[in-house]
Amino acid sequence: MKSSPPSPETGNVTERVETLMAEVMRETGASAGLLYLLPPGDRLVWLTLLSGVSRQIAAPWYRASLNTSTPVTDAIRQGRTVWLGSQEEVARHYPQLGLVLPYDFTLAAGPFISGTAVWGGLALLWPVGHSPHPTSYQRETVTAYCRRTALVLEQAAAQGNPLLPSGEPRYLPASFKDADPAQAMAALGFAERLPTGCCALDLEGRLTFINSAGADLLGSDAGFLVGRLLWEALPWLHTTISEEGYRAAAVTHRPASFTATRPPDRPLLFRLYPDGSGVSVRITPASRQTVTTQTPSSEESVGAMGLYHLTHLAAALAEAPTVHDVADVAADQIVPAFGPQGLVLTIAEEGRLHIISHRGHTAELIGHFDGTPMASQTPTTHARDIGDPVFFTSFADFQRAYPGAPPYDARSSWAFLPLTASGRRIGSLALSYDQPHSFRPAERALLASLAGLIAQALDRARLYDAQHTVARTLQISLLPPALPHVPGLDVAARYQSAGHGMDIGGDFYDLIHTATATTAAIGDVQGHNTAAAALMGQVRTTVHAHATDGISPETSSSARIASSPTSAPGCSPAV
């Protein structure tokens, strides 16, 4: 969702919301905060403001449907604060969250509600060592904060300047005490004089400072390293161990450490010290006895973040029952978590590829390619036809394969992945990137796994949709399209299945009006499936025929049951 540039009034609202969030984190001692907005009329909450945690770690929860179960959505639906006191409690109540963040922390989530209006919610995290049971002061502080934030959002909407989410969540500005320039230079000189290496990482894991000793130990130039992810700038550091160490420190705000071997054989010890603004790292030589794992090269590892995101996507797809749900989950998860700026998900039907979900592309582009014949020569149809992924690392590569192709939404790299389930190619997934992208072998394997998960989920969802359509059609056929007009009598009916899954009950009701009598019939069947519904269809037809023929209800019911040896227990219409 994109919003227009904020007006001055909206800017003031943004500042007030940021100030309130900073206050509640300071007052409660929270180490991280995630603020969500619920736009009017929307059923999705959008992550809008972050503090103390990186966008990459929060990516699986950029958006969440109110129908799903997360701490924030549950708090909104229940209208109360949700408290989780430990890693075990998080895993028990929210297994997807526990899979992606398998660390010990305390969490609270509260809703922004004013009257009957809901404006969003907040999640707060506390590091290891925080009491699992909130104090009365913390409860009161979080409740008061949610109430004040809801009031600010309500007033802004009433004034015609609602605070709406933008495409990317933004960071809550960190507050630092003003540093004297002389003190800053003294600190820099102190770091330079240290015989051991030290560097600083921001919340995303990018290096913001490194002293000369640290650059020497890493065997690289400080100018090259600054602004890069440390484990991507140095191939020998691209290992699950190093990235996992950063994740654990960033989430729990607890010191962590790991060892890695700089080629050819120089072991180094990395100690991480986190806080709400980033991670400080101390680098020292390590004895060979401390090195327990030989770090693989960048070509052999996808990193901890990618594996966690893949696990979360698998769990989310398992809970998506319909094709629409699967498409939304895939699009919502892939763009923020796996790095592309654009996504197009298609499914093959009646000789064409139909777009069922997309992110990051213009409506004109989507409209142009929706319904592409599978016989056409496009990278999407080609990937589906050959059953293998197709990667273009630059626009020049793309043009060589498809001369004259326009620069689709100014993208530079593409990955076209076939969706194959049980040997059948059911569609394709296209990912696009703003900058040239190398697609390392490990990343290609990760994207192939991702496409396989989506394909299996879509195949299952298509079967569910087909069964659901049959069940609904059968259920609707049991019910009268409209109730007859009966002089002197007001009639109304409402049907709600008690079953779960295909939403079919098999029961029926009918109101039969003839010149001599008006008969109400209610059929209650044991079982909630298509067989029970089919049986009750026979009963309904018999009852209706007997009633219109003038036969009494007692005779009609007895005759039907006596003549139906296949009647299921409990299949006795009450007339």
| CA dist., res. 390 & res. 235, Å (int) | 25
The candidate with the shortest Cα–Cα distance to 204, out of 305, 99, 101, 334, is: 305
Per-residue pLDDT of the chain (575 residues; tens, 9 = 90+): 444 444 444 558 999 999 999 999 999 989 999 999 999 888 899 999 999 888 888 888 898 889 888 999 999 999 999 999 887 788 778 877 877 777 778 899 999 999 889 999 999 998 866 666 778 888 899 999 999 999 999 999 999 889 998 878 998 876 655 667 888 889 889 999 999 999 999 988 899 999 999 999 999 999 999 999 888 888 888 665 677 778 888 888 888 888 888 998 899 999 999 988 889 999 999 876 554 444 333 344 456 667 677 777 887 888 888 889 898 888 888 888 788 989 999 998 888 889 999 998 888 888 888 888 888 888 888 888 888 888 999 888 888 888 877 667 678 899 999 888 877 888 899 999 998 888 877 778 778 878 888 888 898 888 888 777 777 777 777 777 788 888 888 888 877 765 545 455 567 788 888 777 788 888 777 665 667 677 777 777 777 777 777 666 666 555 444 444 444 444 444 33
The pLDDT score that the predictor gives to residue 527 is 61
**CATH for 192-301?**
3.30.450.20
Classify residue 354 as left (phi > 0), alpha (psi -120 to 50) or beta.
Answer: beta
The pLDDT score that the predictor gives to residue 67 is 84
- Pull the structure tokens for residue 204: 């995303």
CATH topology of domain 320-470: Beta-Lactamase (3.30.450)
Answer whether 8-171 and 320-470 agree in fold.
Answer: yes
The pLDDT score that the predictor gives to residue 144 is 95
Q: Where are the domains of the chain?
A: 8-171, 192-301, 320-470, 482-562
- Specify the residue for token string 């809703």: 111
Backbone angles phi, psi at 189, to 5 degrees: -65, -40
Report yes or no: 455 and 421 within 8 Å, Cβ to Cβ. Answer: yes
The candidate with the shortest Cα–Cα distance to 543, out of 498, 514, 504, 575, is: 575
What is the Cα Rg of the chain in Å? 30
The pLDDT score that the predictor gives to residue 272 is 92
Contacts of 479 (CB under 8 A, 6+ apart): 495, 508, 509
How does DSSP assign 471-540, residue by residue? HHHHHHHHS-SSPPPBTTB----------SSS-----EEEEEE-SS-EEEEEE--S--SHHHHHHHHHHH
CATH topology of domain 8-171: Beta-Lactamase (3.30.450)
| CA dist., res. 414 & res. 433, Å (int) | 6
pTM of the model: 0.63
The pLDDT score that the predictor gives to residue 83 is 92
SS3 content of the chain, % helix, strand, coil (to 5): 40, 25, 35
Contacts of 415 (CB under 8 A, 6+ apart): 340, 389, 390, 391, 392, 430, 431, 432, 437, 439, 447
The pLDDT score that the predictor gives to residue 506 is 62
